[in-house]
Amino acid sequence: MYFSKVSVVSFGLLATSKLVAGHAAVIKATGDAGGAGSAIGVDPNTPRDGTRRNPFQQDSTRFRGDAAATCGETLGGGDNDIEAGTAQVMQLNGATLPQVTAGGQIMMTVHQVNGDGAGPYTCMIDATGTGTNWVQMQVTTNIDGNARGRNNDQQMQDLPLTAAIPADQTCTGTVAGQANVCMVRCQNPARAGPFGGCVPVQMANAAAAPAAGAAAPVASAAAPAAGAAGTAGTAVPATAATQKRAAAKKQSAAAKKQPALTNDDQEEEVDLLDGDF
């Protein structure tokens, strides 16, 4: 059978297109206020000491296909589902997502599988956590690479990537049972990609607000005792007998004004001592 040069080239391009996979993965992430996570779809059991499609690229995200506009796809898991993916991130990294603050930052570790998993990376954030409303972020620590996202010297390496959280950022999403969630998406300019990942994060101050307010009743409970001391400046008669009677009355009044510790108060006090706040 005769194959023309054009046929051979076309067949080669078709075969190559079917082999394209993710060439970088965001394997770790933390916020300026703590927490731990990764990009959704990442599998920590994926070996990191090779470059081939199988098994080294199985959990790397590529922003193509039906989920190109949201959080992309992986070879191993297909389209990245935000709800299930975020739940898996928490299962693998602990119950606390990366905690960020407005004006803070998110610090990530990108595993570059092969040459075109390099930088430079661009990052964006979605306040709703749904991956549908991206706003550009400033990348403060980037990964070296050319305009096509290539750098062969960095393959099979873990590299730092940091992006700044906007000063006016809010996070309004509810994902995998977590409130105040944003989604951060980072990607490179590779022609076969883009490659990168979506990292769920949580606004730290918003999550802590109810706990801070819960402590207020404890402080107000002491107010009546402070008010009782106000009678100390009251003038009394000069005779010794009158002073004695006045002192007894004041002691009795103070005892009446002192709030009793109810069962509810005792439970609240135990909770505070145990750190439940």
Tens of pLDDT, residues 98-151: 999 999 999 999 999 999 999 999 999 999 999 999 999 999 999 999 999 999
* This prediction's pTM: 0.70
Give the mean pLDDT of 239-254: 48
- Domain-embedded: residue 228: no
- Domain-embedded: residue 224: no
Residue 104 CB-half CA count within 13 A: 18
- Domain-embedded: residue 277: no
- State residue 21's pLDDT score: 58
Give the mean pLDDT of 167-176: 98
For the stretch 202-217, pLDDT in tens is: 999 774 433 334 333 3
Which residues does 216 contact at the CB level (< 8 Å), separation at least 6?
Answer: none
Residue 58 to residue 65: CA distance in whole angstroms? 16
- Domain-embedded: residue 55: yes
How many folded domains does the chain comprise?
Answer: 1
Q: Please check the confidence at residue 248 and state whether its pLDDT lies above 70.
A: no
- Domain-embedded: residue 181: yes
- Domain-embedded: residue 98: yes
Give the mean pLDDT of 226-252: 44
The domain of 144 spans: 24-203
Which residues does 252 contact at the CB level (< 8 Å), separation at least 6?
Answer: none
- Domain-embedded: residue 6: no
Strand partners, 223: none
Give the mean pLDDT of 189-196: 97
CATH classification at residue 94:
2.70.50
Residue 115 to residue 113: CA distance in whole angstroms? 7
